[in-house]
Structure 1
Amino acid sequence: MEFLKSFDSDDDVEFVETFFNVVQHVHAEESSNAARTRTVVNRDRQAAHDLLVRDYFADNCLYNDDSFERRFRLNKAIFLRISNALESRYDFFKQKPDARGRMGFSSIQKCAAALRYLGYGIAFDASDEYLKISERTAVECVDWFSACVYEVFH
């Protein structure tokens, strides 16, 4: 696995190996939530994106690289490499307008949501508080992220 050689620590390798096993759990959880009806919530996706960038990715960001790695369980440079690779190859990770003409979630928001779940096993709806991503979208993010990372870097 050439991809694993690019990681900085055993924790990164363990994380990557573990998240492929989580995919089955994601599909099981998605199936159990399929019968629910959806309520439309007006989320300020752009403000959530701007906050994420200001906190972790801006030149003078609020949190340093160590904080990023501790919170997302992945080195920031590797995160950006993965996010950029997925965005360049898959429409799901490209930010585009939704049916109402509002811009959708950015690639870094989708990858961050997936990593928060994979790294900590948080509830899917917990992504709504910081990233403003619904439970349904968080499930899609984990599903797409897992499959695409495997396809691109395997």
Structure 2
Amino acid sequence: MTHANLMNNYFNPNSVYTKEDFSRRFQMRHHVFERLLHDVQHVNPYFRQKRDRTGLPGFSPHQKVTIELRMMAYGSPADSMDETHGMFESTCLDTLAEFYDTIVQFYKDEYLRKPNQEDLDQLIRKAEDRGFPGMIGSLDCMHWDWKNCLTGWQ
């Protein structure tokens, strides 16, 4: 039932909530969620739906990823997912560990690497556009005057 509600609310063609609602609640656009869902299913069989010991379908991939993203985006405790999504705290924590491991395994080469020159140039341009020239290597901002700075830092 919770899977059907989730699908009707966000993922079916005539879903209850709009793409803008989805983006606000999931803290990402719909296509990013779908890519993430596809990637974790591809890398880790844990995120594919299986049958439980009674022969009933277990949690769907959509449910598993949704619950973990909600926990991360809103800082929701694992024990609160039981009331809204029907997933016990221990299962939430197991799923969270699988999710983190899978994300690191799949995306580490692209996102968890030292920045190359192109990355640095882009960061420098972005910082300069926002009025913070030379921010790379100077993230403490000690060169900026701040009238409310704590006296211990002055």
User: TM-score normalised to the size of structure 1?
Assistant: 0.67
After superposing on structure 2, the runs of 4+ consecutive aligned residues of structure 1 that deviate more than 4 Å are: none
Percent identity of paired positions between Structure 1 and Structure 2: 30
1:76 aligns with 2:40: no
AA in 1 matched with 2:36: I
* Higher RCO structure (Cα 8 Å, ≥6 apart): 1
* 2-structure distance, mates of 1:66, 1:86: 24
CA RMSD in angstroms, aligned pairs only: 1.1
* 1-structure distance, mates of 2:38, 2:48: 10
Deviation at 1:55, TM superposition (A): 0.2
Deviation at 1:130, TM superposition (A): 2.4
1:106 aligns with 2:48: no
Contact 1:48–1:131 at 8 Å: present in 2 too? yes
AA in 2 matched with 1:94: R
Kindly indicate which of the two structures has a greater share of residues assigned to helix.
1
5+ long unaligned stretches in structure 2: 109-154
1:51 aligns with 2:5: yes
User: TM-score normalised to the size of structure 2?
Assistant: 0.67
Contact 1:127–1:134 at 8 Å: present in 2 too? yes
* 2-structure distance, mates of 1:136, 1:120: 19
What is the count of residue pairs matched by the alignment? 108
User: How do 1:119-130 residues align onto structure 2 when only pairs under 5 Å count?
Assistant: 119-130=73-84
Alignment-derived partner of residue 9 in structure 1: none
User: How do 1:1-150 residues align onto structure 2 when only pairs under 5 Å count?
Assistant: 47-150=1-104
Question: Which deviates more, 123-132 or 98-107?
Answer: 123-132
- 1:107-143 deviations in Å (ceiling 9; x for gaps): 1100011001100111112112222111111111211
